[in-house]
Amino acid sequence: MAVATKGVLFEYGLSIPPLALVFDFNPQSISRSRTVTIKTGDAPGNRTGYDFLSPLETTRVAQGVELAAEGFSVDILLDATDRMDAGDEVAAMFGVQPQIDTLRSMVEPKSQGPGGLQTLSSLGIGGARAFERQETASVLIFAWGLQLLPVFLTGVTQKEALHLPNLMPYRAEMGLTMQVIESNNPFTMADKVRQTAMTALNAATGF
């Protein structure tokens, strides 16, 4: 039996409670999308770019480019069967509900508290008005294989498949959508270095 690859999603910050999820991850279930908008300005004849005759002239074919944020779509399976078989009391009582609620907490806005601690805005611990609550989105780190990316979790869908007698789900299919954060941060910079290294490896091997 093949060992499932593990994926990790955790919050990069000081949160109550700490938000982290480790899950079995099938690399074939990931979808990535990226789009760019090419600006060709007033290229003559409504062309989609200016004329060029050599590689030295390619820099003027377009007048600019806007890179949209990269998006991820990932399907993961949460299953408490093995933990229940191993005698895990939490799994036997609550199934995968703790993992589901962790994901729901990751997508919820947070309120900034004393000492940089963050709590769910829905708890109402912050001020009564929105600007007093200082609501923010969680910065999460999505890790799998050699990749470690900072992301916003922008959507969570769940499909509960099997339930315990108390109606707690012990198997659920979760759909996650994420937006990559491509600011100046150590995770994005490291990923760009990895990307450059893999590109060089591709050129060296000829594949």
Please, which pLDDT band fits residue 27 given cuts at 50, 70 and 90? low
Compute the Cα dihedral for 96, 159, 153, 155 and give only its sign: negative
Tell whether pTM > 0.85: no
Please, which pLDDT band fits residue 121 given cuts at 50, 70 and 90? confident
Q: Of 151, 156, 172, which Cα lies nearest the Cα of 10?
A: 151
Secondary element (H or E) of residue 176: strand 169-180
Which two tokens mark 172?
A: 């659920």
Please, which pLDDT band fits residue 109 given cuts at 50, 70 and 90? confident
What does the mean pLDDT of the chain come to? 84
% of the chain at pLDDT higher than 70: 85
Q: Which of 15-19, 140-144, 168-172 has the lowest mean pLDDT?
A: 15-19
**Which range scores top for mean pLDDT: 46-60, 125-139, 176-190?**
176-190
pLDDT at res. 131: 53
Q: Domain extents for the chain?
A: 5-34+70-205, 36-68
Question: 12: left (phi > 0), else alpha (psi -120 to 50), else beta?
Answer: beta
- Asked whether 144 and 27 are in contact (CB, 8 A), the reply is yes
- Which pairing describes strands 169-180 and 147-163: parallel, antiparallel, or unpaired? antiparallel
